[in-house]
Amino acid sequence: MDQLIQQFFNWDIMMRAWPMLLRGLGMTLLICAAVIPLGLLGGLLAALASTSARPWLRWPGMALVDLFRALPPLVLLIFVYAGLPFAGIRLSPFAAVTVAFFLNNSAYYGEIFRAGLISVGQGQTDAARSTGLTARQTLIHVVLPQATRNVLPDLISNTVEVVKLTSIASVVSMGELLHAADLARSVTYNASPLTMAAGIYLLMLWPVVRLLSRYQRQIAV
Amino acid sequence: MSKTIMSPAATSPTAAQAGAAPAVARPTLELIGLRKSFGAIEVLRDVSLRVARSEMVFVLGRSGSGKSTMLRCCNRLEEPDAGEILLEGERITGRGVNLDRVRRRIGMVFQNFNLYPHLDARRNVTLALRKVLGQSREEADARAAEALARVGLADRADSYPAQLSGGQQQRVAIARAIALEPAVMLFDEPTSALDPELVGDVLAVMRELKQDGMTMLVVSHEMAFAREAADRVVFMAEGRIVEEGPPEQIFTSPRHESTRAFLSRYSFGQ
């Protein structure tokens, strides 16, 4: 029992690893700050394309969303980071992570936004256009606010997934939270830094998950 | 696509009329030879109609007779395959027409109200005033207050659609349309989605609009109201206008067989 505590909950080692993990957490947040807005933007564009009345926009939109939803994100990341150099495209770890996550996130956020856009009835567009609002004004002031509200729980839920998924950036040696913790583990030869990283993820995401399920129960009633 | 291209035969009578009879009062809304198909189904077959200034024209007909499609063609929410539409003498069909500019002059009220659920009554009215007419917040709020007062809802400006009854929602929808001071108002079965006890309030607002001189084209099954308030009744069947005239004549001595069949079915309820 004592040994177990020594291996997983060693306070001294945790204190020593703390600065490293803090830097790792900073990097995780930096990745999130880049890939979440990019993914939301890409997802919105993908959703607009795949719900467009124009076939030349709709088909490529739907095909891309399908492709990047089916591709495992780790495969995508390694391909972008380690595969593309063979085509002469060499990206820094951060750039590779951003590109891979942008493609993956856009597909998932895209599906959510698409459901949101579809959930807003044609009558809303008819009414808005009948007052002389342009297609763009109708989208911005009438359709999007309702679409976003209708799928807000899904957007938040997907964002939690994105934050968790940033841990795969460790395979391209981005010094994010998991990578930092694993490095500390190998230096100290002790699992406590990993325990700590797990705790940090939990502290970050558990309140969001808790609030989300409470909110979902509320709107279900 | 040849959607908007018209045969010379369809256009020339209009030109001739306009040239020959300038003294005749120009109709506010004029439909000439409208045609529309959905796939293989011909919904409008050569529909022509004139609505004079300050006139209230009622359109009757069985569901599927094309009356809603005709109405939706008037502001081109539905694109007619052929034919012309003139608004105050100006052609609004075909290419090169700025639809958004045209639509602000044509108000529309829908069966299901279609209020914006995320905005309160005031902002439902002010959205187009701000974004389309470019009014300041103060101007738009003042205009909205006026429009809401006209439909008897001055005190509900802060209510969201979900907090209003169906009849109140439809009156806000009417306020949203009249705030733009349109040349003509289109009503697409405005009371069909309402509980019977709420219908009267909406009809009362329409009656007042008529008294104020609003030009209105109304698709509705409110026979008693049509008889009392309409200037003219148009009866549609199978995509055509088969009969039109003053309400008294249509209701008491309909000439067309399908009008008679339709009215006899409805007179049960009266």
Q: What is the pLDDT of residues B149-192, one digit of tens each?
A: 999 999 999 999 999 999 999 999 999 999 999 999 999 999 99
Q: Is the pLDDT confidence value at B12 over 50?
A: no
- Band of residue B77 on the pLDDT scale cut at 50, 70, 90: very high
- Band of residue B3 on the pLDDT scale cut at 50, 70, 90: very low
Domain limits at A180?
2-220
Spell out a b/e string for A38-51, using b for 16 or more CB atoms within 10 Å of the CB, else e.
bbbebbbebbbbbb
CA distance A148 to chain B (A): 11
Contact list in A for residue B104 (CB cut-off 8 A) is 131-132
Contact list in B for residue A54 (CB cut-off 8 A) is none
Give CA–CA dist B85/B4, Å, rounded. 11
| CA nearest neighbour of B187 among B159, B137, B225 | B225
Cβ–Cβ contact A126 with B under 8 A: yes
pLDDT attached to residue B66: 93
The least confident of A47-56, B122-131, B209-218, B261-270 is B261-270
- Band of residue B2 on the pLDDT scale cut at 50, 70, 90: very low
pLDDT attached to residue A217: 80
Residue type, A20: M
- Band of residue B216 on the pLDDT scale cut at 50, 70, 90: very high
SS3 of residue B233 by DSSP: strand
Tell if the CB–CB gap between A130 and B75 is shorter than 8 Å: yes
Tell if the CB–CB gap between A132 and B118 is shorter than 8 Å: no
- Locus of tokens 């908007």: B4
Which CATH number is A186's domain given? 1.10.3720.10
Q: What is the mean pLDDT of residues B61-71?
A: 92
pLDDT attached to residue A84: 93
Q: Is the pLDDT confidence value at B18 over 70?
A: no
Structure tokens at B93: 């069909």
Cβ–Cβ contact B53 with A under 8 A: no
**∠ Cα B167 A131 B1 (to 5°):** 125
Q: Alpha helices, DSSP H only, in chain B?
A: 8-20, 67-74, 99-103, 121-131, 137-150, 166-178, 196-211, 223-229, 247-252, 257-267
Q: What is the mean pLDDT of residues B32-57?
A: 95
The least confident of A83-97, B194-208, B251-265 is B251-265
Q: Is the pLDDT confidence value at B1 over 70?
A: no
Give CA–CA dist B56/B146, Å, rounded. 23
Tell if the CB–CB gap between A137 and B177 is shorter than 8 Å: no
Give CA–CA dist B31/B10, Å, rounded. 12
With a cut of 70, list the residues of chain A below it in pLDDT. 220-221
Cβ–Cβ contact B264 with A under 8 A: no
pLDDT attached to residue B94: 86
Task: Answer whether B190's CB lies under 8 Å from B209's CB.
Answer: no
Number of structural domains (chain A) is 1
Cβ–Cβ contact A131 with B under 8 A: yes
CA distance B268 to chain A (A): 33
- Band of residue B9 on the pLDDT scale cut at 50, 70, 90: very low
Q: What is the pLDDT of residues A30-65, one digit of tens each?
A: 999 999 999 999 999 999 999 988 999 999 999 999
- Locus of tokens 């607002």: B205
Report the mean per-residue pLDDT for chain B: 89
> Exposed (0-12), middle (13-18) or buried (19+): which is B244, by Cβ within 10 Å?
buried
Task: Answer whether B148's CB lies under 8 Å from B140's CB.
Answer: no
Q: What is the mean pLDDT of residues B192-214?
A: 94
Contact list in B for residue A137 (CB cut-off 8 A) is 131-132
The DSSP element (H or E) to which A209 belongs, if any, is: helix A192-220
Among chain B residues, CA nearest to A130: B103
Task: Answer whether B57's CB lies under 8 Å from B217's CB.
Answer: yes
Q: What is the mean pLDDT of residues B8-30?
A: 56
Cβ–Cβ contact B192 with A under 8 A: no
The least confident of A118-132, A172-186, B25-39, B100-114 is A172-186
Task: Answer whether B143's CB lies under 8 Å from B135's CB.
Answer: yes
Give CA–CA dist B202/B30, Å, rounded. 26
List all residues 6 or more positions away from A192 whose beta carbon is below 8 Å from its beta carbon: A7, A8, A9, A10, A13, A14, A17, A185
Contact list in B for residue A121 (CB cut-off 8 A) is 114
Q: How far is the CA of B238 from the CAs of B42, B77, B223, in angstroms?
A: 8, 21, 20
Report the mean per-residue pLDDT for chain A: 92
Closest CB from B100, B104, B110 relative to A127: B110
Closest CB from B103, B116, B177 relative to A129: B103
Q: What is the share, in percent, of chain B residues with pLDDT greater than 90? A: 79
Q: What is the share, in percent, of chain B residues with pLDDT greater than 70? A: 90
Give CA–CA dist B259/B250, Å, rounded. 8
DSSP structure class, residue A85: G
Residue type, A183: L
| CA nearest neighbour of A173 among A72, A76, A79, A94 | A94
Q: How far is CA B82 from the centre of its chain?
A: 20
The DSSP element (H or E) to which B26 belongs, if any, is: none
Cβ–Cβ contact A140 with B under 8 A: no
| CA nearest neighbour of A112 among A56, A156, A59, A54 | A156
List all residues 6 or more positions away from B74 whose beta carbon is below 8 Å from its beta carbon: B29, B31, B85, B106, B184, B186, B217
Contact list in B for residue A149 (CB cut-off 8 A) is 118
> Exposed (0-12), middle (13-18) or buried (19+): which is B95, by Cβ within 10 Å?
exposed
The least confident of A80-94, A203-217, B80-94, B203-217 is A203-217
Q: Is the pLDDT confidence value at B7 over 60?
A: no
Cβ–Cβ contact B154 with A under 8 A: no
Q: Is the pLDDT confidence value at B270 over 70?
A: no
Cβ–Cβ contact A46 with B under 8 A: no
Cβ–Cβ contact B137 with A under 8 A: no
